[in-house]
Structure 1
Amino acid sequence: MDNFSDYDFIIQPGWKNSGSDHWQTHWERVLDAKRVANKDWEEPALKDWLDGLDTAIGQCAKPVVVIAHSLGCATVAHYAANFPQKIHAALLVAPADVERENAPSTLGSFAPLPQLALPFSSRVIASTNDPFCDRIRAEKFSATWGSSVVYLVAAGHINTASGHTEWNSGLEELRSLLEIAGRSKQMDAA
């Protein structure tokens, strides 16, 4: 798959993990990716999730690309605030707004989200009708993080429930992000 072999991929699922039909599980197989092994998917604790991501990244030998979904996007933002040099690029799909009024209290340790630009190439993929993050908030996150943003029309939470199983078109977004990240690294080295 083109330049995919140049990277180690980390799958960072969201709250309650990604099931067997979820696109992240499909991509895990296609990309030979490592999935973060959090201790508790039902009652997430930020420290545990940061430790899980750090452990997964520590097992990588190539530049690390994190593919995050939902609460996993918040995890990446917090991780970048603590370990800015460990990630090469991140695809942030359907970020969960943990600061929204009706956010489940069990997600409280992830709020507030860091207000800083991510120190690596990143892309937010958001839906125009995501029940867990409205378009205005997704736009705010992408601007704050310095991420490019792509909107999918009426794609729900971009998960199995919204029909995103293999989601091969998402792999094209990943490929595009990696091309941008590669050019950015070349410009930094020049």
Structure 2
Amino acid sequence: MPTLLIFPGIGNSGPEHWQSRWERANPDFVRIAQREWDNPVCAEWTAVLESTVQRLGPSVVIVAHSLACLAVAHWAARPHSPVRAALLVAVPDPDGAAFPVEASGFSPLPMQPFSFPSIVVSSSDDPYGSSEHAAACAAAWGSRLVEIGAAGHINASSNLGDWPEGLALLQQLCV
């Protein structure tokens, strides 16, 4: 059974976010522990990801949301510990007008294939990253692209509840 690593975006995922709901419902989920959730620095986030994966071992499946997807891309572009797969949800555009000014070091975004299977999940009306951006990232990273229609930033405000469709995508990466 893989270890499922919850990797929230800026601000950490609140209690009604699907990541938090999945974590509460399943003891196999582990949340990454970042030092700074509100003023993220890419180099720090990738270092914590690497140390966490080293500690948990190669059976890790990363479950990243938003800014964490960018951290995964930066981490994957350098030598890193092996993982089983990654689910990357709501990939923001680090060069977009809506990108949080509190976040630093996330641009330029690496656009090279990952060494592990991955799925990029995109919403047609995500204010932080267009469908075209998500498709370009998925193509560059060698990820499968799944477009789920108009679901905003695919977060608690999207009213997805437990988001069973996302959990089904995650299960595809765990087999």
Same fold by TM-score greater than 0.5: yes
- Structure 2 gap ranges (5+): none
**Where do residues 4-23 of structure 1 align in structure 2 (5 Å cutoff)?**
6-23=1-18
Counterpart among 119, 132, 135 of residue 136 in structure 1: 132
Conserved 8 A contact 1:115-1:144: yes
Q: Would the aligned equivalents of 2:98 and 2:127 in 1 still touch at CA under 8 Å? A: no
Of residues 79, 83, 100, the one that matches 2:75 is: 79
State which structure, 1 or 2, has the greater radius of gyration over its C-alpha atoms: 1
2:61 is aligned with 1:60: no
Using the TM superposition, give the Cα deviation of residue 16 of structure 1 relative to its aligned residue in structure 2, in angstroms. Answer: 0.6
Q: Does 1:149 align with 2:138?
A: no
Asked if the contact 1:34/1:56 (under 8 Å) is kept, the reply is no
Cα separation, 2, equivalents of 1:172 and 1:120: 19
Q: How many corresponding residue pairs?
A: 174
Structure 1 residue 102: Cα displacement: 3.7
Taking the TM superposition and a 5 Å limit, the aligned residue runs for 1:1-190 are 6-29=1-24, 30=26, 32-61=28-57, 63-179=59-175
- The structure with the greater share of residues assigned to helix is 1
How far apart are the structure 1 equivalents of 2:75 and 2:23? Answer: 21
Moved over 4 A (4+): none
In structure 2, the partner of 1:188 is: none
Take 1:24 and 1:49, find their aligned partners in 2: how far apart are those partners? 18
Whether contact under 8 Å (2:118, 2:142) holds in the other structure is yes
- Contact persistence 1:98–1:108 (CA under 8 A): no
1:31 CA drift (Å): 5.0
Report if aligned partners of 1:16, 1:41 keep a CA contact under 8 Å in 2.
yes
The one-letter code of the counterpart of 2:53 is I
* Superposed displacement of residue 94, structure 1: 0.6
Classify the secondary structure of the residue corresponding to 1:109.
coil
Normalised by the length of structure 2, the TM-score is: 0.93
Partners of 1:98 and 1:107 within 8 A in 2 = no
Q: What amino acid maps onto 1:15 in structure 2?
A: I
Q: Would you say the 8 A contact 1:159–1:165 is kept in 2? A: no
Q: Percent identity?
A: 39
